[in-house]
């Protein structure tokens, strides 16, 4: 048994997919299954496709290439704005990409011509979160530049909120995106079929019956993978959360004081630590650290275990109050948020085990 281990419960992820497919399907909204949050674990992608998701989205061409090599039959959407240095790979492996730079779109056109391929794009607009997207005043200029594209097919408009600026999705924001679609259709003299209205954070609009009917696509990862909405600061009540469980091995178990002795400088990451004197307490050290995981995004399944801190390779927890008899060589289990899942699945030191 190799630790640290991340256990992936496929049947629970499948439950979330089915639940969301039902909710979004009733609103005639297509789900793009976003795999980037778990670094595109093949078995997770298969579960999405098995349950009716036709488009898989990821931010890394490398992940999309790997999923294609594993013969997962889907369309593939590149979620991160393409780098100029990777455009051949975008054309070779991605059916759709999100774009917010005219220079990049025109370069994709030229590579598509040479490759004799049609590449589809969703034109992204910044509606206030200050991450990717054209500004509203750019519509005239980008329309002129995109009017005569031959190999690039403009299939949609989209936006992203929450991920950088924390801006929430509202009916008003969605209304602006709908209006952008109308303006772009008029200027390009062509139909634009997709309005990609955001991510997991958009689900609350559906729940409140506040999603405009013109919105017909959502890019959903976090809700499928973890049953959470970090932007909305909530655990989604109708979805399962115990989909991924981390097991970390105990490599030291001792009773020690709670305040270091000596002159205090900075820790290994340049921070000045603060301590509260709670006397002598039982502490366990686990073989995982900041190199593998965003530690402050972990939550022990045993609520009596408290995370004290971590270095690059060691996680220190207080086990004084637990009723379980944790032993050297045993393990402690954790649930996690999105950022911890992302880092754990990216680390080559974490073993991933799928469970049906």
Give the active site residue among 36, 46, 173, 290. 36
Q: Cis check for the bond before 115: say yes or no (omega within 30 of 0).
A: no
Q: Is 59 helix (H, G, I), strand (E, B) or coil?
A: coil
- Residue 32 to residues 39, 171, 299, Cα–Cα distance (Å): 16, 21, 28
Which domains, and CATH codes, for the chain? 10-235 (3.20.20.10), 244-355 (2.40.30)
Q: What is the pLDDT of residues 210-233, one digit of tens each?
A: 999 999 999 999 999 999 999 999
The verdict on whether 36 is a catalytic residue reads yes
Mean pLDDT within 304-312: 96
What pLDDT band is residue 269 in, cutting at 50, 70 and 90?
confident
Percent of the chain with pLDDT over 90: 93
Confidence class of residue 277 from pLDDT cuts 50, 70 and 90? confident
Q: How far is residue 289's CA from residue 164's CA, in Å, rounded to a whole number?
A: 25
**pLDDT, tens digit, for every residue of 158-212?**
999 999 999 999 999 999 999 999 999 999 999 999 999 999 999 999 999 999 9
**Residue from 14, 28, 63 nearest 346 by CA:** 63
Q: What is the pLDDT of residue 120?
A: 98
Calculate Rg over the CA atoms of the chain: 23
Annotate 202-247 with DSSP letters as a single string: GHHHHHTT-S-TT--EEEESHHHHHSEETTTTEE-TTS--TTEEEE
pTM for the model stands at 0.95
Residues whose CB is less than 8 angstroms from the CB of residue 315 and which lie 6 or more positions away in sequence, other chains included: 248, 285, 286, 287, 288, 289, 295, 307
């Amino acid at each position: 048994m190799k630790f640290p281990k991340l256990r992936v419960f496929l049947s629970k992820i499948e439950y979330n997919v089915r639940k969301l497919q039902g909710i979004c399907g009733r609103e005639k909204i297509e789900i793009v299954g976003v795999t980037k949050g778990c670094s595109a674990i093949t078995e997770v992608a298969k579960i999405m496709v098995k349950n009716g998701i036709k488009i898989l989205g990821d931010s890394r061409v490398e992940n999309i290439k790997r999923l294609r090599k594993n013969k997962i039959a889907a369309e593939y959407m590149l979620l991160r704005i393409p780098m100029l240095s990777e455009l051949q790979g975008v054309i070779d492996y991605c059916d759709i990409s999100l774009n917010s730079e005219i220079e990049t779109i025109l370069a994709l056109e030229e590579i598509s011509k040479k490759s004799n391929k049609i590449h589809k794009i969703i034109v992204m607009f910044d509606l206030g979160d200050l991450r990717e997207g054209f500004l509203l005043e750019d519509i005239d200029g980008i329309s002129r530049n995109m009017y005569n594209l031959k190999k690039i097919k403009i299939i949609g408009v989209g936006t992203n909120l929450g991920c950088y600026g924390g801006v929430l999705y509202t009916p008003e924001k969605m209304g602006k995106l709908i209006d952008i679609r109308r303006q772009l259709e008029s200027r390009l003299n062509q139909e634009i079929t997709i309005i990609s209205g955001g991510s997991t954070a958009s689900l609350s609009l559906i729940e409140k019956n506040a999603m405009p009917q013109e919105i017909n696509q959502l890019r959903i990862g976090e809700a499928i993978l973890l049953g959470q909405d970090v932007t909305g600061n909530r655990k989604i009540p109708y979805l399962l959360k115990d989909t991924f469980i981390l097991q970390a091995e105990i490599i030291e178990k001792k009773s020690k004081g709670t305040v270091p002795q000596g002159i205090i400088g900075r820790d290994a990451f340049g921070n000045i630590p603060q301590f509260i004197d709670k006397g002598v307490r039982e502490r366990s050290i686990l073989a995982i650290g900041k190199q593998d995981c965003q530690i402050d995004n972990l939550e022990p399944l045993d609520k009596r275990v408290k995370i004290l801190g971590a270095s690059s390779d060691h996680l220190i927890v207080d086990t004084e109050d637990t009723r379980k008899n944790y032993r050297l060589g045993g393990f402690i289990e954790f649930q996690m948020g999105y950022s911890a899942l992302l880092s754990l699945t990216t680390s080559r030191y974490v073993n991933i085990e799928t469970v049906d």
